[in-house]
Structure 1
Amino acid sequence: MWQWLQDNQPAIQIIVSLTTTVVWLAYLHIFLVSFRRQTRSGLLINRAGRDGLSARCIISNLGSEPAYLTDVLAEVEIGDTTTTASVVDRLEMFEDSNQSQTAQGPMASGAYIDIGSFEDIFERVRQRHSSEDIACKADRIKLIAVAATSQARDLVAAYRSFDISGSGEHAVLRPVEVEAHQVRSWLQRRRLKRLLSTIQRGDRMEHSASSELFAPANLPASRHPAP
């Protein structure tokens, strides 16, 4: 046996070296996956309380680092028509100086921000677009939460949709997705910055924001002129 080991020493050394390399690569992979999972940002959009328009809309930070909620976009579908507006500012409270007039703000890890009821959100869309009875006519609302974190070099976002059946006191909100889908790709975040720039300039968006965000990478995002 000893003679065989001496005769095959070069081959054995190569095998041991390759085995050691594979083990270290496996450990490195596990470490990188664990590190990425710990530092990955995450936003949750949830309905709290009742299932009607009085339900509260909660934005939670699931990342391990603090996040700053910068904007929330509401995409309201009425038949074949889609309207998008920023709803992070509490327009219904502008006359009350004792309450915060915006939902923007920092969120610690595991913390959340209550951006108001869904009824409030529809009212903000109505005020932005001078429309009437949006809540009574809406078929679906998609919320896109946008935040800035120290984990990412750019903005992060998540979206979740809610179907609406009935109207008024009998309206019922049903989430379409089980959980909020995260927006993390470089292309989507670049498109998101362009959308936010459009909204911050005060341009009206009588179209779907998500159709621009999630267009295939090999196709240009659609551009809709403001009416």
Structure 2
Amino acid sequence: MWDWITQNSGGLSAILNAAMLAVWIAYLQLFFVSFRRSNRTVIHIGMAGERNGDARCLVTNMGSDTAYVLAVKIDLDFGEETRSALVTDRIEDDDPLGGDFREKTNQGPLGGGEVLDIGSLGRIVKRAAHRTGEELSLKECRAVTLTVMVAAQQAHQMSGGYKRYEIESGDDGEMCFRSEDVLTRQIHGRRQRHALRDMITA
């Protein structure tokens, strides 16, 4: 046995080195995947307070790194037609977002774990009406979709998230906004990112 090992020591050494290299490659791959996952930007969109048009729309950066909010978009589903508009900048004067430049815009850095109040749904629809020059009303909508676009990874990559809320009538006759998914769908695909970029620069 020992004679065979001695005679084939060169081949065995090569095999052991290859096996060790494979183990290190697998370890580094696991480390790289874990690192990317821990540093991935995740945006969450939620509502707080009321469940009607006065509900506050909250945007949370669930990632560990700071993300820069580039734009906020709303899609209003009227059934046969849809209206879309960027509602990043606020037009109201009596609904402060708080904090210096954010008194007039939702743009700006959002640290890991931080929450940004982008306004009530009613106010956001008014911004959309102002941008489109049309009379838009939540009472005529079937659903609304909010999309938040951010610059992540030291502003080297664009990503974001979106959530759709169906509009229903409550027992008291007021509008209720319900999402089929508690979580926010993330935007990471290249095609989706290009579409967002085109919308912002249009």
Match of 2:63, SS state, is coil
Return the TM-score normalized by structure 2: 0.87
Assess, with a 3 A threshold, how the Cα gap between structure 1 residues 196 and 94 changes in structure 2: closer, same or farther.
farther
> CA-atom RMSD, angstroms?
2.3
Structure 1 Cα separation of the partners of residues 95 and 195 of structure 2 = 34
> Number of aligned pairs?
197
Select between 40-49 and 177-186 the one with higher mean Cα deviation.
177-186
Alignment of 1:1-227 (within 5 A): 1-93=1-93, 100-132=103-135, 134-151=137-154, 153-166=156-169, 170-198=174-202
Match of 2:34, SS state, is helix
Give the superposition deviation at 1:63: 1.8
Give the superposition deviation at 1:132: 3.1
Q: Which runs of 4+ in 1 moved over 4 A?
A: none
Gaps of 5+ in 1: 199-227
How many percent identity over aligned positions?
Answer: 31
Match of 1:156, SS state, is strand
Assess, with a 3 A threshold, how the Cα gap between structure 1 residues 153 and 53 changes in structure 2: closer, same or farther.
same
Match of 1:92, SS state, is coil
Match of 2:92, SS state, is helix
Assess, with a 3 A threshold, how the Cα gap between structure 1 residues 51 and 66 changes in structure 2: closer, same or farther.
same
CA deviation vs aligned residue, 1:2-47 (integer Å, no higher than 9, x gap): 2221133233223212210111111111111111112211211111
Structure 2 Cα separation of the partners of residues 169 and 109 of structure 1 = 39
Partner AA of 2:178 in structure 1: R
